[in-house]
Amino acid sequence: MPCTVINGGFWGDEGKGKIISYLALKDQLDVCVRTGSVNAAHTVWFQGNCYKLHMVPAAFINEKCRLLIGTGANIHIPQFLKEVEETSVKNRIGIDYQASIIEEKHSIQDKASAHLKGVVGTTGRGVGPAIEERVRRSAKLAKDIPELQPYLTDVAKEANDAIDNGKKVLLEGTQGLMLSLFHGTPPYVTGRDTSASAICSEAGVGPTKVDNVLTVFKAFMTRVGGGPLPGELPKEEALKRGWFETAAGTGRERRSAPFNFEIAKKAVMINGTTQIALTKLDILHPQCKSLRTYQELPEEAKQFINKIEKQTGVPVVLIGTGPEALDIIDRREQS
């Protein structure tokens, strides 16, 4: 896997942090480039500890992995410095010179917008206003910020040099395709494109350099904020099934619905998906908890996986069976 793009297939919250952290250890990633912004959190469980990361790449648990934040990202300086301290990655993380900055005024603007807060359901982190200012060519950039000087680098050059030298590089997408500004459900979308193509663009890696697009789906769908959610369940039913969740970054309640195969097919088509990761199979089928081989799965769980593969035409290569980074069935090894 010289270069792999990871993105979400639904509305975010698919478990990308878990999959990335697994690959960081199992495949011994050399470089991980995070895209997106502070309004998305990736949750990593490792050795009994829970990390909710808005800025630091989820591959940090591999102590040899170089961590980068791409030029298309938006940096929230206090959050970045806080996470660098918490994860002890100061000597191996870099930010692109031209990544833009989220200022306090952006958060104030975000929270003051009745349209965004009341209708769309913004996190209020200031990402949208920061992107707006960037489009107007008036945004502050990482190279303008004294506190960020020790971290500055040319992320595109580092990533491409690593790929050209045969190193293992992962491009870490945030949120999910159905929140894409272009391909989602307007106006209930985020302020950027979240597709695999956009992840490459934000990292500065051309599409011909990518070997795999790994799209992550959860065994059921969840969504925060407003907007359509086909098959949405009442909260009471979600609680009964064990599907009720709160967002890692904001604590907002997630609405729940069964896995939707038509949406999955759309995500696979637009992303050019070559592999699928499926998380939280143990929530759908509790008897799958912590299993590590496909053969051990109950027949009902196998039928669900087979249906995903048949409907999308893409193999399910990683299956999450618990919260820990290594609670994974890796079919790349078992096939």
Other Cβ atoms less than 10 A from the Cβ of 298: the count is: 13
Other Cβ atoms less than 10 A from the Cβ of 321: the count is: 24
How far apart are the C-alpha atoms of 55 and 63, rounded to whole Å? 17
ω into residue 2 within 30 of 0, thus cis? no
**Annotated active-site positions, please?**
13, 42
ω into residue 207 within 30 of 0, thus cis? no
SS3 10: coil
Contact 273, 312 (CB under 8 A): yes
DSSP label at residue 182: T
Contact 122, 247 (CB under 8 A): no
Q: Which strand (E) or helix (H) includes residue 87?
A: helix 77-87
* Residues 6+ positions from 253 with CB-CB distance below 8 Å: 224, 235, 244, 245, 246, 247
- Cα-trace Rg, the chain: 19
CA–chain centroid gap for 125, Å, is 17
Contact 245, 13 (CB under 8 A): yes
SS3 294: helix
